[in-house]
Amino acid sequence: MRVAFAGLGVMGYPMAGFLAGAGHDVTVFNRTASKASAWQKEYAGSTAATPREAARSAEIVFCCVGNDDDVRQVILGDAGVLAGAAAYFVTLALLGVRPADFRSGLRGKSGGPSV
């Protein structure tokens, strides 16, 4: 499966690594490029310069960032996940933000339902 992972913090880094180790084709994005490069060296996946690039061919996109503003930038920004995602994909948001805020931000932008 083609997976994108945006956010390589204490939770995202090992989760993306586990998916790569399980044989999935993983592309990661992190705002600190050196962390994405370190992940790539450790797990042999791919890196992307933007969330849009990471999501371009992904079937599933994981978003693991820490606050509302970061979520908006990574998912909804001009170079965000929705700007580059395939017509049909699943976004799993592993966040510390209020679900209602996340859903309201996606409403009308994703072209599909959000949970």
- Domain of residue 82, CATH code: 3.40.50.720
Helix (H, G, I), strand (E, B) or coil at 112: coil
Give a yes or no: residue 111 inside a domain.
no
For residue 1, give the nearest of 74, 99, 113, 86 by alpha carbon: 86
Q: 0.85 cut: is pTM over it?
A: no
Give a yes or no: residue 113 inside a domain.
no
Give a yes or no: residue 115 inside a domain.
no
77-111 pLDDT per residue, tens: 899 988 887 766 666 665 555 556 555 555 555 44
Total tally of structural domains belonging to the chain: 1
Give a yes or no: residue 42 inside a domain.
yes
Domain that holds residue 63: 2-106
Question: Which pLDDT band, with edges at 50, 70 and 90, does 112 fall under?
Answer: very low
Helix (H, G, I), strand (E, B) or coil at 22: coil
- The β-bridge relationship of strands 46-47 and 90-93 is unpaired
Query: First vs last Cα of the chain: how many Å apart?
Result: 21
Q: Which residues pair with 62 in a beta bridge?
A: 5, 92
